[in-house]
Structure 1
Amino acid sequence: SVLKAQNLSGTLPPDLVRLPFVQEISFYGNRLSGPIPKEFGKITTLKSLVLEFNQLSGNLPPELGSLSQIERLLLSSNNFTGVLPATFANLTALKQFVIRGSGLSGPIPAGISLLKNLTDLTITDLNGSDSPFPHLENMSRLSKLELRSCNIAGALPDYLGKLINLKVIELSNNKLSGQIPMSFHDLKNMYLLFLSGNHLSGPLPDWIDKPDFVDLSYNNFTIMKFEQQTCQQGSV
């Protein structure tokens, strides 16, 4: 069964766990406040939970890690605190995980590497200290990767170029450094590459004009251009 509603205010009722065979809950764009009830972790038939654009707060309950069948978890634009629970590593059926601008702190938990069925991984605007790039090398089905403003530091990993289903890479406003890996040349399906607001450097790769949408602004790239048969350098 499917449970959808609009124009709601108040808090999420824990009693929803009593509804039999619920596969989808969508309270998108309401005025709901308070925490997500830990009891939601007992709705084991749930395949989609959409709570975006509300005023929910508190920590994300670790009990949500028991939703073994969930494929879609959309939690963006709320007022949560705390971190992403380590138990989310158990959500191995998950295909779409989106949580933009919801007040959480990093780092992205290491267990996310176990979510091999993800096609859309979107996490943005994490508070906290710097952390290395998460291990995503097993996500061979990944089509969209958006980790904007997550305090990710260090080099772009070569393995991203082996995730050949990637169409969108959005890693703006982090603290990434070094060069764009040569392996990115193999991402034949990529049509959007946003890396602005990092500390990336080195020459621009010769394939950089292939994606339809590219933003490399506010980095330290070197541009080689010929003027009067003299090779000069500029920066981006």
Structure 2
Amino acid sequence: MTRQLPWRLADAPDAPFPPAETALRQPDGLLAVGGDLHPLRLLNAYAGGIFPWFSDGEPILWWSPDPRMVFRTDGVHLSSRFRRQLRASPWEVTADTAFTQVMRACAGAPRAGQDGTWISPAMVDAYSHLHDLGFAHSFEVWDQQDLVGGIYGVSIGQMFFGESMFSGASGGSKVALAALAATLNDWGWPLIDAQVENPHLLRMGAIHLSREAFLQQVRHAVQQPGRESPWTQALGRLPARALAGG
């Protein structure tokens, strides 16, 4: 029998989550409520295909929707027109040089159909802590000294769980996502979790996976050897024009 209310988490940060397969259908994917943003709880959540999403002042809500939106790391699509623009672009991409700045820019980015942001100060603090521990990463897009785009998320093993991205100039988030995907693909990582459906992500090549298929891939990927943190030196300063292809 399907539960009508989400599971309430115990206070201990290592308290187990219920299986993601038991998430509610309405609202889609709501699995549990409560707990905190302790690093151990966050890592246990992501490794189980679960993520927090809630508004400031509300109890923490934990989700595992079905289907799941993902990018294959070789499947990010940039239009021919945008690629032509990139070939003349002076922008450069770095990794892990401005994590908290990227998070705050994502928090301040306007989003269609949304009033405010789920990226509260508590979320910034929690994920910045994960970054310090080597489990959260950002890709930054620079026009000289100006941050014009970025993306951040959580990595466990060889799985990257995307959280948010922003554009400070037209195309900035596209470049950040494309650079992240190209880098992970070079490393042999298969997927980027994009969580829930979004028309912009679909246009860029995101696909749906059933929750069952997503969890199967996550459970394998998180057991694989990851990449030493920070990722700054591994990426260097990548010219955005290198993402334009031939």
TM-score over 0.5 for the alignment? no
Shorter-normalised TM range: 0.3 to 0.5
Q: Which has the higher contact order (CA 8 A, sep 6+)?
A: 2
Query: TM-score if structure 2 supplies the norm length?
Result: 0.31
Structure number, greater radius of gyration: 1
| Structure holding more helix per residue | 2
Query: TM-score if structure 1 supplies the norm length?
Result: 0.32
